[in-house]
Amino acid sequence: MLTVELQTEIEAPPETVFDLLADHTKIPLWDPHMIESRLFTEGPIVKGSKGITIAEYRGRRIETEIYYDAYDRPKYVSGGTTSGPVKARQTSEFIPIEKGTKINWRMEVEFKGFMRLLEPFMKSTLIKQRKETLDALKEYITKNK
């Protein structure tokens, strides 16, 4: 299993950052890789909510079913995948700081099938992709203040 951890700071209140990062239906607004994301479950996101994301990386379209196993606005969200080329679990913690919000992000990834052979090479790719998406989130928030 591969574990990736990142931290970043965004000049916006935790509620703003949480609402854009934790709600997968809003991720296509700012994530350049995300094509579509929707929930299967009705109503607001809560523990147990499920959905699907469709992303594109390096010209490859990836459809993944997701679930939330914790959702405590604006402090903490976690969940994972139930389909796709990898089994992943992500957690994000949103901490108020003087200039806005600090995000502690963690992802645990278990590669399936032949993808396991790529695991030693994937950490730097995952870090790069996540830094890109967090930078895109910062840019989106800055432009839409």
- Is residue 10 within a helix (H) or strand (E), and if so which, with residue range? strand 2-10
Mean residue pLDDT of the chain comes to: 91
Amino acid at the residue 144:
N
Percent of the chain exceeding pLDDT 70 equals 100
Residue-wise pLDDT for 33-89, tens only, equals 999 999 998 888 999 999 999 999 888 898 999 999 999 999 999 999 998 778 999
Q: Tell me the sheet residues that pair with 79.
A: 68, 90
Contact 136, 27 (CB under 8 A): no
Cβ proximity of 78 and 69 under 8 Å: yes
Cis peptide before 85 (omega within 30 of 0): no
β-partners of residue 95 are 102
Q: How many domains does the chain have?
A: 1
Q: Read off the CATH number of the domain in which 50 is found.
A: 3.30.530.20
Instruction: State which residues form the domain around 17.
Output: 2-143
* Environment class of 27 (CB within 10 Å of its CB; exposed 0-12, middle 13-18, buried 19+): buried
Average pLDDT over residues 9-37: 93
Q: Give the closest residue to 137 by CA, choosing from 37, 5, 3, 9.
A: 9
